[in-house]
Chain A
């Protein structure tokens, strides 16, 4: 399957174009509906505070879905993502104002894994409000 980034054209250290993804309450409600995850900590401020959170937080899986877009935007073909894993280290807090929150994602090629399979490991850095929200965020990506 073609991807627009050629294996031969990247090396360890190659940076992917970074991207910032906005997230507000409306987006969390949409994600809840689309994913079937209706945990009230993702839409009910009263409930979130009762369980000790500062405010409503984004679904960890929403943040995970946004972060990999830096890779799929880079390759063009989302199927280039062979493996993708993250650790949920901090919540993305989403206040009920006009702005919401932002998820800032950057990525770089950490290593070329397999010349035959044309796979590389991409490490992602995922931040919100100045703090890392995902750890060990890594993808194995098959290039053209």
Chain B
């Protein structure tokens, strides 16, 4: 069943602030095998002009994807999450994420399309810090595959 087009443009209330931890950034950097000291050593980050360590470019996804549950679990929208795969992902950074940032995500449905029985959902997550400044925007394309089509290899999921 095609998703209701009237949800295009719908915005969800900003999430409760997520406080970025220094050790969470370190854990994430280590998990992706990173040894760039900008993620773990304040002095090294300072030499690059940063006031503190910074998070890797894709770190924010854990936060924006959690916020996107407002969309994927919206009973009125009625997305069948078991059929959803992560199609595209894009980040536009205003400044790097840093420890102590208290980040809130405002999620908006940008587009709903139906192609070959698949529902394609474009979701935008605007991430603001405590002072209300935009830090990064995450663009996530979710594809809910048609139930009757047996696909041997789902693309992948990000979440």
Q: Which residue of A lies closest to B95 (CB)?
A: A79
Closest-CB distance, A89 to chain B (whole angstroms):
6
| Residues from 129 to 159 in B contacting A, C-beta threshold 8 Å | 139, 150-159
Give the number of chain B interface residues (Cβ < 8 Å). Answer: 44
Q: How many A-B residue pairs have CB under 8 A?
A: 140
CB pair A31 B154 closer than 8 Å? no
Q: Please tell me which stretch of B80-88, B104-112, B117-125 contacts chain A, meaning at least 4 of its Cβ atoms lie within 8 angstroms of it.
A: B80-88
- The 8 A CB mask of B83-109 against A (1 = contact, 0 = none) is 001111111110110000000000000
Task: State the Cβ distance, A121 to closest chain B Cβ, in Å.
Answer: 13
> Given A72-B36, A78-B56, A79-B48, are A88 and B85 also a contact pair (CB < 8 Å)?
yes
Task: For the complex, give the distance between the alpha carbons of A88 and B155 in Å.
Answer: 6
A87 — nearest CB in chain B belongs to which residue? Answer: B88
Residues of chain B within 8 A of A36, CB atoms compared: 62, 66
Contact of A85 among B49, B50, B88, B158 (CB under 8 A): B88
Residues from chain A with a CB closer than 8 A to the CB of B91 are 83-85
B33-68 residues at the A interface, CB under 8 angstroms = 33-34, 36, 38-39, 48-50, 54, 56-58, 61-62, 65-66
* CB–CB A84/B90 < 8 A: yes
Q: Which residues of B have CB within 8 Å of A57?
A: 156
Query: CB within 8 Å of B: which of A25-57?
Result: 27, 30-31, 33-37, 39, 41, 51-54, 57
How many interface residues does chain A have, given as a range? 35 or more
Asked whether B156 lies within 8 Å of A30 as measured between CB atoms, the reply is no
Residue of A30, A58, A84, A136 near B58 (CB, 8 A) is A84
Q: Known A33-B31, A60-B86; judge A85-B156 contact (CB<8 A).
A: no
Partner of A59 from B49, B50, B150, B157 at Cβ < 8 Å: B157
Contact B88 A136 (CB under 8 A): yes
Closest residue on chain B to residue A35 by CB atoms: B62
Q: Can you spell out 18 A-B residue pairs with CB atoms less than 8 angstroms apart? A: A35-B28, A36-B62, A36-B66, A37-B158, A39-B157, A53-B153, A68-B56, A68-B57, A69-B32, A73-B36, A78-B54, A78-B56, A81-B93, A84-B90, A84-B91, A85-B88, A85-B89, A87-B87
List 15 additional contacts besides A37-B158, A73-B36; criterion CB under 8 Å. A2-B49, A27-B33, A37-B65, A60-B89, A60-B155, A66-B33, A68-B57, A68-B58, A72-B57, A78-B56, A82-B92, A83-B92, A88-B87, A88-B158, A92-B156
